[in-house]
Amino acid sequence: MSTKKHLNIGLVGYGFMGRTHSNAYKRVNDFFDVPYRPVLKAVCGRDRDAAGKFAGNWGYESIETDWRRLVEREDIDAIDVCTPNNTHAEIAIAAAEAGKTVLCEKPLAMDLVQGQAMVDAVEKAGVANTVWYNYRRVPAVTLAKRLIDEGRLGKVFHYRAQFLQDWTISSDLPQGGAGLWRLDAAAAGSGVTGDLLAHCIDTALWLNGRIDDVSAMTETFIKERKHNLTGKVEKVGIDDACAFMCRFENGSLGLFESTRYARGHKALYTFEVNGEKASLRWDLHDLHRLEYFDHADDAQLRGWRSVHVTDGDQPYMKNWWVPGLQIGYEHTFVHQVADFLENLGEGEPTAPTFRDALATQAVCDAVLDSAENRKWETVVPV
Ligand code: SOE
């Protein structure tokens, strides 16, 4: 019999992210010895049939069609917000006020003002909280963090990141509704900046520290799309592409680029860090590898090495298979739940907390302001 404490999960939203999180809750205790067992108590969605189907598929015990009812339920310990961005704040704040643990999909909020209210709510209520920036927990990315913290790169000069996709090139693609809310500014807040660059920024702040100021440009290539909710052709308010340069507090220079118009690229998230002693780079399409160049190597053999991050000494990997056998995208969510439950047992926060995610929000806001105003913008300290 398991002696683990139960953490009763109430999931709001059952799209793509609802599935990744549910999978993580189900798998975590099979692979990680953590003090809590997540229990799939209820899933909430406005469409009763769809919520029922999701609940049946994933093993949720019950369904709700109003998130307020879910938040009120005494048998729910944690609210997991997997809904479009424009609903994060209202749900997360109500959950915190009801004393629930809150897990929230990225980006934290529509903007900094909303994000600040969310941080205030969880901090005032003293509830555990985290934001699902899952790529931090790709073992190769966590290894990059370890190497940087060990000082192996020395002084960092450059940080560059890209997140490239191609799924919105067709002008026939409508905006709004399931999945396509990402193209609707009223639901998403922004386009690639909040959806994709937010991942790059979260990783960058974690690996390389604060960003002081930014200079950005954005473009909306398709100006009008049919809206699924109104049936009318409406103006597109999101950024289809965004590129920015920035200065980090540690003196290094940053270059970031994201688009959904890079034909041939599905989810090409890459970053590279160049330091005085060493460089490293990572690519989501080859996610179990970390490329590393160490200038201290024997000059005759010096070169980029490709580290296959599958060994028990490397982050998270001792919990999975045997050295040489890799894991993938879904495991990053399992890792986040594992860390969250471990920290919950110890009363410790799990990064990225709402406050950590607010720092990413501050950079996103500065990037969008800079693109609009066509000038450098200072990132508001949070
Ligand atoms: C968009 O296509 C998307 O699914 C993002 O919303 C996710 O955050 C990213 O990880 C993959 O791409």
Indicate the SS3 state at residue 130: strand
Q: Number of folded domains in the chain?
A: 2
SS3 (DSSP) at 104: strand
Confidence tier at 3 by pLDDT (50, 70, 90): confident
Residue 253 burial (C-beta neighbours within 10 Å; 0-12, 13-18, 19+) = middle
Q: Measure 196 CA to ligand 1 centroid, in angstroms.
A: 6
Same domain, 127 and 147: no
Helical H segments across 211-303, by residue range: none
In terms of domains, do 306 and 355 share one? Answer: yes
Which atom of ligand 1 lies closest to the CA of 167? 2
Percent of the chain with pLDDT over 70: 100
Atom 5, ligand 1: residue with shortest CA distance: 195
- Say how far apart CA 232 and CA 311 lie, in whole Å: 54
Tell me: do 129 and 142 sit in the same domain: no
Gap from CA of 182 to ligand 1 centroid (Å): 9
- Which of 195, 201, 240, 271 is the pocket-test mutation for ligand 1 (most atoms within 8 Å of CB)? 195
> 181 CA distance to ligand 1 centroid (A)?
12
Residues 55, 37 within the same domain: yes
**How many Cβ atoms sit within 10 Å of the Cβ of residue 3?**
6
Q: Which of 74, 99, 134 is the last residue of a domain?
A: 134
Residues 20 and 59 in one domain: yes
Enclosing domain of residue 175: 137-378
pLDDT in tens, 175-224: 999 889 999 999 999 999 999 999 999 999 999 999 999 999 999 999 99
Q: What burial letters (b/e) apply to 8-24, b meaning 16+ CB within 10 Å?
A: bbbbbbbbebbbbbbbb
pLDDT tens digits, one per residue of 224-243: 999 999 999 999 999 999 99
CA 261 – CA 180 distance, rounded (Å): 16
Ligand 1 geometric centre to CA of 345 (Å): 30
Domain end position, chosen among 104, 134, 164:
134
Q: Are residues 50 and 182 in the same domain?
A: no
**Any residues with CB less than 8 A from the CB of 143 and at least 6 apart, and which?**
290, 307, 309, 314, 315
Domain with residue 374: its CATH number is 3.30.360.10
Cα of 192 to ligand 1 centre, how many Å?
9
* 354-373 and 112-125 helices, crossing angle to 10°: 170
HSE value, Cβ hemisphere, 13 Å, CA-based, for 262: 15
Rounded to the nearest whole angstrom, what is the distance from the C-alpha of residue 1 to the centroid of ligand 1? 38
Which residues contact ligand 1 via a Cβ below 6 A? 165, 195, 199, 267
The residue whose CA has the least distance to atom 6 of ligand 1 is: 195
Give me the percent of the chain exceeding a pLDDT of 90.
Answer: 99
Question: Does 354 lie in the same domain as 205?
Answer: yes
pTM for the structure as a whole: 0.98
Q: What's the 191 CA to ligand 1 centre distance in angstroms?
A: 11
Q: Do 208 and 276 have their domain in common?
A: yes
Amino acid at the residue 50: A
| Atom number, ligand 1, closest to the C-alpha of residue 105 | 8
146 and 129 in a single domain? The answer is no
Predicted local distance difference test score (pLDDT) of residue 150: 98
Name the residue at shortest CA distance from atom 1 of ligand 1: 195
Domain end position, chosen among 77, 105, 134: 134
For position 1, what pLDDT does the model report?
A: 66
Decide if 218 contacts 261 (C-beta within 8 A): no
CA distances (Å), 58 to each of 2, 138, 169, 337, in order?
21, 24, 33, 17
CATH code at position 46? 3.40.50.720
The mean per-residue pLDDT over the stretch 43-50 comes to 97
My answer on whether 113 and 49 are in the same domain is yes
CA distances from 349 to 214, 315, 323, 344, 355 (A): 29, 19, 30, 7, 11
Q: Do 110 and 152 fall within a single domain? A: no
Shared domain for 229 and 363, answered yes or no, is yes
- Residue 2: the pLDDT is 75
